[in-house]
């Protein structure tokens, strides 16, 4: 009788049970994160707004014909034209349609934000992971270099890099990416120091995994939530820095449209034609606020104590 019962029992070793449970557990975590995020009103409103800005940037890049006017065509008879049915956001000092220029400027702001964050993310995560995992002299050298960069305000450091590299949007991307590296390096280092003490990291060392494999396969996936949150917030900071450089005339060069450059060129006409500054300023403010609120929502969604259920 016991033999019959044993023969009918489905064999399942410990490895099979663990492997079957892992995908379900990971899937459940991501479902919980999305559920929490989807029930966060400000975060979802921000996500919709960001999606709209991205859609405008992509559509205007692929099909410029959707623009209401040529963003670079000058019509001095329309200089400082107030918002109207013909020009919803009015015209600037050279008679160019502000709405069309803002739609094109979304391409520049998002491109700078995404590429500069990608640059700082790759370099900062790599340096932080090496410093946290290796420790010793490597940790000391890397983190003291990061401390030196953090000792200088980011916008001043970006201006210094721009002075060395020259003007232009491509130079602005490099400068903004470089000044953001220390933030990612410090965050990743602190997370790696906590994670590398876990048993599964020790087990990976015992079976002979290389340091690179342990870092990128076992450690970094477990610190990914912190990286994702910081990258989301970093995009808003990069857009703000790009606008600041454009405001100072160090970013894009005429006649290219960019929100910070439009804001800077309109500051001399704040009393004569305030709409020249108001609309680009609102675009910068709302976009930065949206990324900040989305980052806060993602952070709360990953935090079990703050997660909405």
pLDDT at 9: 43
CB 192 within 8 A of CB 269: no
pLDDT at 2: 44
- CA dihedral of 120, 126, 130, 133, whole degrees rounded to 10: 110
Q: Mention every residue, 6+ apart, whose C-beta is less than 8 A from residue 83.
A: 89, 90, 275
pLDDT at 27: 62
Here the CATH number for the domain that contains residue 238 is 1.10.3720.10
35 vs 222: CA distance, rounded Å: 20
pLDDT at 166: 83
Tell me the β-bridge partners of 199. Answer: none
Structure confidence by residue, pLDDT tens digits, 72-83: 989 888 888 999
* 105 domain-assigned: no
Share of the chain above pLDDT 70, in %: 89
pLDDT at 307: 58
Q: How many domains does the chain have?
A: 1
pLDDT at 266: 86
* Per-residue tokens: 252: 């894009």
Confidence of residue 47 (pLDDT cuts 50, 70, 90): very high
* 244 domain-assigned: yes
* 21 domain-assigned: no
144 vs 155: CA distance, rounded Å: 20
pLDDT at 25: 53
* 88 domain-assigned: no
Q: Mention every residue, 6+ apart, whose C-beta is less than 8 A from residue 277.
A: 263, 266, 267, 269, 270
* 61 domain-assigned: no
- Number of Cβ atoms within 10 Å of the Cβ of 257: 24
Confidence of residue 59 (pLDDT cuts 50, 70, 90): very high
Confidence of residue 4 (pLDDT cuts 50, 70, 90): very low
* 78 domain-assigned: no
Expressed as residue numbers, the domain containing 138 is: 111-250+285-309
* 134 domain-assigned: yes
Residue 21 has pLDDT above 50, yes or no: no
Confidence of residue 26 (pLDDT cuts 50, 70, 90): low
Look at 85-89, 245-249, 285-289 and tell me which has the smallest mean pLDDT.
Answer: 245-249
* Per-residue tokens: 106: 């979304």
103 vs 261: CA distance, rounded Å: 14
pLDDT at 153: 86
Residue 170 has pLDDT above 50, yes or no: yes
Q: Mention every residue, 6+ apart, whose C-beta is less than 8 A from residue 230.
A: 183, 184, 187, 295
When pLDDT is averaged across residues 241-248 and rounded to a whole number, the result is 85
Q: What is the pTM of this model?
A: 0.81
* 263 domain-assigned: no
Residue 98 has pLDDT above 90, yes or no: yes
CB-based burial of residue 199 (10 Å sphere; 0-12 exposed, 13-18 middle, 19+ buried)?
exposed
């Amino acid at each position: 009788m016991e033999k019959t019962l044993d023969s009918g029992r489905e064999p399942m070793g410990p490895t099979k049970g663990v492997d079957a449970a892992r995908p379900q557990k990971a899937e459940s975590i991501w479902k919980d994160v999305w559920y929490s995020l989807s029930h966060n009103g400000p975060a979802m409103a921000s996500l919709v707004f960001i999606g709209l800005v991205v859609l405008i940037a992509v559509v205007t890049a692929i099909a410029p014909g959707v623009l209401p006017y040529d963003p670079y065509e000058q019509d001095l008879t329309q200089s400082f034209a107030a918002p109207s049915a013909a020009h919803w956001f009015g015209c600037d000092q050279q008679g160019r349609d502000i709405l069309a220029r803002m739609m094109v400027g979304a391409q520049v702001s998002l491109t700078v934000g995404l590429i500069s964050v990608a640059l700082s993310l790759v370099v900062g995560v790599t340096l932080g992971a090496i410093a946290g995992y290796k420790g010793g002299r490597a940790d000391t050298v890397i983190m003291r270099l990061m401390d030196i960069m953090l000792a200088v305000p980011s916008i001043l450091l970006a201006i210094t890099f721009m002075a060395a590299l020259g003007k232009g949007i491509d130079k602005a991307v490099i400068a903004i990416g470089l000044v953001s590296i220390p933030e990612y390096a410090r965050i990743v280092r602190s997370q790696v120091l906590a994670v590398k003490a876990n048993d599964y990291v020790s087990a990976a060392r015992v079976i002979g995994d290389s340091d690179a494999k342990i870092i990128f396969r076992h450690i970094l996936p477990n610190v990914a939530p912190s990286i994702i949150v910081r990258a989301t917030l970093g995009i808003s900071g990069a857009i703000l820095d790009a606008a600041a450089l454009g405001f100072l005339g160090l970013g894009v060069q005429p006649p290219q449209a960019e929100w910070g450059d439009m804001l800077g060129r309109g500051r001399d006409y704040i009393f004569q034609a305030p709409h020249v500054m108001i609309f680009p300023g609102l675009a910068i403010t709302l976009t930065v606020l949206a990324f900040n609120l989305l980052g806060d929502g993602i952070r709360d969604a990953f935090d079990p104590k703050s997660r909405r259920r």
